[in-house]
Amino acid sequence: MSDLPAYRVWALPGIPEVRTGDDIAKLIASAATAEGLPGLADGDVLMVTSKILSKAEGRVVQADDREAAIDAETVRVVARRGPLRIVENPLGLIMAAAGVDASNTPAGTVLLLPEDPDASARRIRAGLRDTLGVNVGVVVTDTFGRPWRSGLTDVAIGAAGVRVLDDLRGGTDAHGNPLSATVVATADELAAAGDLVKGKAAGLPVAVVRGLSHVVVSDGDGGGDEVAGADGDDEGARALVRNAADDMFRLGTSEAVREAVTLRRTVREFTDEPVDGGAVRRAVAAAVTAPAPHHTTPWRFVLLESPESRGRLLDAMREAWIADLRGDGFTEENIARRVRRGDVLRKAPYLVVPCLVMDGSHTYPDARRNAAEREMFVVAAGAGVQNFLVALAGERLGSAWVSSTMFCRDVVRDVLGLPADWDPMGAVAVGRAAVSPPARVARDAAAFVTVR
């Protein structure tokens, strides 16, 4: 039985109320060496609640209004429901209220998270090595809620001397099946184990895990713990924060819509990466939820997925455009320059031609109401295309809505074999952006509002 995998975890009593300027490593060392306790040994891992680090590092701030403190610590709002906000804080952590805590601190003050929890963990580790001569791992913990799961748990927000991730990819399971996606969040598992004995209101901010020395990195040359990465593969808890490009669940509730609208930018340079037709069809499904008059469905989307179909259309449109420019009296040099500038559609690996159909429209005895009827349908078409562009952005696809097909509708219908009552409403270039678009120019919404 002694050979079975096992570990022991206990809370460390004797940590006093922490004040600004206190040396947490010395407080832990003093508590760990008290009579009757097992002390600390090489390979132990300490779970340290972030609150005591916040206090020691002077992250206690006056805040009669906690909301203002949350605002100051918020990089991005992910989701909001009533007064509750799930936000991204400067550490890249997605959590409630940016980690701003009004508990266990005097009235009128709040606790902010440590500015650099990995650095805090490194200082504690170095201090314990200097004081007690032990090589331990340190995990700084805080309490998180989790999407799709009820209840709270402690997770790692800082770490030193610990392999925070255990990458099992490339190995096999007990049945010989390859492991292609398994990366275990070891530091989070340690944080949760420590929380089982620390408790939320027991006044025990530090826990010790013994028996898992394989997760503790070597002490290296005995120095340099103040430098990130000084311990070889000691990468800190920042490695647990998924980068935005790989995060499939980055957005929340209504903020997802606002974020997608913000992400929608006109892209004029595309990579050669093929476009997933399924993603485009999902965007079409979003497009056709737009409002439309008389319960109609005035949208049609022609997907040009083959290079041949795109080439035929663009060649025909170019000839039509050149003929128009010649008719307008432009020189051949000017025509060539304009055509080159207008070649954004040729640079995209995928084209979509949205079309308007007037099925279900009403006919009136006077031209004024008939014109208004068509305008209603055109507005509905625009709403559908906007839905389409936003949904493409949600699929991480860039797009450019170009009006050119509207100037040669007969040519487009002829080349694509479309019915005579389908009106092309421009063309949408779709693909992966080759370069990041420039920062969006800020616009004051109040400049576009009139109140009566």
What are the pLDDT digits (tens) for 265-292?
888 899 999 999 999 999 999 999 999 9
- Which one, of 337, 338, 345, 354, lies nearest residue 315 by Cα? 345
Please, which residues have CB within 8 angstroms of residue 427's CB and are 6 or more apart in sequence? 345, 351, 352, 353, 354, 401, 402, 404, 405
pLDDT at 221: 40
pLDDT at 222: 39
pLDDT at 203: 83
The token pair that represents 169 in the structure block: 């990819």
Which segments of 66-118 are extended strands (E)?
76-81, 84-88, 94-96, 109-111
> Mind listing the pLDDT tens digit for each residue in 131-178?
999 999 999 999 999 888 999 999 999 999 999 998 887 777 777 787
Distance of CA 427 to the CA centre of its chain: 29
Domain annotation for the chain: domains and CATH numbers: 8-246 (3.30.1330.100), 264-448 (3.40.109.10)
- Identify the segments of the chain with pLDDT beneath 70: 1-2, 200-201, 220-234, 251-260, 342
pLDDT at 343: 76
* DSSP tally for the chain: helices H, then strands E: 11, 17
pLDDT at 16: 93
pTM over 0.95? The answer is no
pLDDT at 103: 81
